[in-house]
Structure 1
């Protein structure tokens, strides 16, 4: 009987000890959350018709891999057109920078010499020999006129006696008229030579000489800096347009910006996609993190703090995480509770980045975060 009493007393003592241990040694603080990954939604800034789809949902891709290709439509033709335009602008710029050719300068100098000689000729006026020659031609014309008058008078007398025909008389009359006109022409020529060059002709010749001289000087000095800058600006504008088209061509190939996994993809060749609209989404598996909510009585956590994580899927493989975010403002459940009893439901959102060297974790797994930093350091 005494032995049984001792056993019962011992059993009761153990129970009381366990109760006191659980009371004064509470379970370390922990919160639960879901493993998440950053989602990236990819698209094209130009849009168009889908030419090829090179990946499938759930497929792992590397940074720089081409995921979707779009048809170029008229981008290739526009690129070729802008390449020709750029070549023309570059040639024009090179012409302005190089300046005029030596042959063009010599041609301008020859034109100046020609006009200068013409001006000198007009300034000096006719030579004495030219005036004397004009007087000689006038004398010859007057002599021919007198001969034509004598012939006409003789034919007129014969015609009155019916000794010559009417046709012969008419021929003599026409010869007299031609000789008289020739005398008038020779008289005018002599007057022009004797009067010399008019003032208007001298001014015109001087202006032509000056114009040719300025044209020659322009070729010697080349193009103005403003013209070169304008040609350079036109070249740069054409280059910018070509670069813009080439960037649009790059947008025809939707590439992966990171190493990740394709999460959602619903495209087929021939589908139309809008410019700037997401066409697929992928997850960044290089940086997994847990979103959790910490009660205010356990909010003594800080950014950069190491914490221990445990997962039901891998119970024997504890992980280490780093707190990267702690909300500055608490959240209420419900949001309008202000009583002292319900204030314990006030929580702060935290974000814990997971160190996963084994690459076994997947978004969606449940994880427990142990807020005791000592456990993480161990």
Structure 2
């Protein structure tokens, strides 16, 4: 039994070193594996850093190329400048030339009217009284003129002739009486006083006969030309007064002087208005133009006669839903006041830049356009004026 334990002990003694020998190589192999793993990890990390660096370099190169292409395209693309203008239309204010009370208003805002259409009727009793007075004065003057032109009536001529004949008979009787009394006076049968009385009566009847004859001649000849001229002048004066009164009455019934659209009705029925007070405003939709302000460095693009295209955002094209465009032609340009001048703050900023007001009419006016609508003009300011002229032609 002892030997057996010894053997076992020997076996145990002999086996323990073997176990130690087996464990020692395992530790060495683990350390190697870790070192290999670290080397592999470092290698992968270096490869990843290398790839990232290459990618960054590629991105930088591509960015530089893209920036160069962008700058080259930016220089090659046209430089578009937008100008904003405003549509305007001819406005006409209708005012009363005579005072009165508004009786009727025949139009409303937005109505399309023609020249000669009645707009407002005014009630003025003073004007009606003046018309009646002028007509009565004309009738009186006309009667005087007719009397002067027609002369004396036949009855008046016969009456004047009868008076002349009666005075002539009385004058003949007075002459015969004077002759008899004078003969008796010479014979001493009649007193001198009786003779003088007969002579005085003879002279008086002679004068009365001559006056009657002149009245008869005047009746035959008719009215003098001067009297006829004076009567005709009175008729003309009465006609002028009547025309003035009728003109005032016509002005009380206001009519439109132009064709267009009623833009604003200022008064109401029943109001009393004075002379020269505006009552309503009309606009002529055929007389349109656009107004825009540009600095003088862009003035060469808006010379007289130059044409350009403008967009009116408030309107749409009849054939599509796109904004409506119109063709305009410049007809005038004028410099604005000094307050619209841009002035540099120092000498390095350049010179003063004046602002000009440009007006252009549409080549084909549109009745849908209203005053105040905005007009946008986009223009390639890199083109020269000659290129613009060729493009418009």
In structure 1, which of residues 319, 327, 338 is the aligned counterpart of residue 326 of structure 2? 319
The alignment of Structure 1 onto Structure 2 pairs a total of residues equal to 316
Q: 1:78 is paired with a residue of what secondary structure?
A: helix
Instruction: Give, in whole Å, the separation in 2 of the partners of 1:213 and 1:9.
Output: 132
Counterpart of 1:99? Answer: 151
The Cα of 1:91 is off from its aligned counterpart by 2.1
Counterpart of 1:263? Answer: 263
Q: 2:128 is paired with a residue of what secondary structure?
A: helix
Counterpart of 1:360? Answer: 368
Out of 314-323 and 44-53, give the one that drifted further: 314-323
Q: Answer yes or no: is the 8 Å Cα contact 1:60–1:261 preserved in 2.
A: yes
Counterpart of 1:26? Answer: 79
In structure 1, which of residues 6, 9, 15 is the aligned counterpart of residue 70 of structure 2? 15
Instruction: Give, in whole Å, the separation in 1 of the partners of 2:198 and 2:231.
Output: 46
The Cα of 1:191 is off from its aligned counterpart by 6.0
Of structures 1 and 2, the one with the larger relative CO (CA 8 A, separation 6+) is 1
Instruction: Give, in whole Å, the separation in 1 of the partners of 2:330 and 2:197.
Output: 104
Q: 1:349 to 1:359 in 2, by over 3 A?
A: same
Q: Deviations over 1:243-293 (max 9, x none)?
A: 111111111112222222222224322111111111222222221211222
Instruction: Give, in whole Å, the separation in 1 of the partners of 2:84 and 2:368.
Output: 19
> For residues 218-297 of structure 1, what are the structure 2 equivalents within 5 Å?
218-297=218-297
Instruction: Give, in whole Å, the separation in 2 of the partners of 1:41 and 1:278.
Output: 6
Instruction: Give, in whole Å, the separation in 1 of the partners of 2:252 and 2:330.
Output: 39
TM-score (norm 1): 0.72
Structure 2: unaligned runs, 5 residues or longer? 1-53, 317-321, 380-384
Q: 1:230 to 1:210 in 2, by over 3 A?
A: same
Instruction: Give, in whole Å, the separation in 2 of the partners of 1:335 and 1:10.
Output: 43
Instruction: Give, in whole Å, the separation in 2 of the partners of 1:14 and 1:337.
Output: 37
Q: Deviations over 1:204-248 (max 9, x none)?
A: 222212212222222222222221111111101111111111111
Instruction: Give, in whole Å, the separation in 2 of the partners of 1:317 and 1:18.
Output: 30
Q: 1:128 to 1:250 in 2, by over 3 A?
A: closer
Q: 1:128 to 1:224 in 2, by over 3 A?
A: closer
Out of 34-43 and 235-244, give the one that drifted further: 34-43
Counterpart of 2:135? Answer: 83
Structure whose CA Rg is larger:
2
Counterpart of 2:26? Answer: none
Q: Answer yes or no: is the 8 Å Cα contact 2:288–2:365 preserved in 1.
A: no
Instruction: Give, in whole Å, the separation in 1 of the partners of 2:389 and 2:368.
Output: 25
Instruction: Give, in whole Å, the separation in 2 of the partners of 1:291 and 1:223.
Output: 70
Q: 1:273 to 1:46 in 2, by over 3 A?
A: same
Q: Answer yes or no: is the 8 Å Cα contact 1:333–1:345 preserved in 2.
A: no
Instruction: Give, in whole Å, the separation in 2 of the partners of 1:100 and 1:46.
Output: 45
Instruction: Give, in whole Å, the separation in 2 of the partners of 1:304 and 1:100.
Output: 76
Root-mean-square deviation (CA, aligned residues, Å) is 3.4
Instruction: Give, in whole Å, the separation in 2 of the partners of 1:291 and 1:112.
Output: 89
Q: 1:297 is paired with a residue of what secondary structure?
A: helix
Counterpart of 1:180? Answer: none
The Cα of 1:7 is off from its aligned counterpart by 6.9
The Cα of 1:34 is off from its aligned counterpart by 0.8
> For residues 194-209 of structure 1, what are the structure 2 equivalents within 5 Å?
195=195, 198-209=198-209
Q: 1:222 to 1:337 in 2, by over 3 A?
A: farther
Q: 2:310 is paired with a residue of what secondary structure?
A: strand
Q: Answer yes or no: is the 8 Å Cα contact 1:296–1:346 preserved in 2.
A: yes
Q: 1:287 to 1:342 in 2, by over 3 A?
A: farther
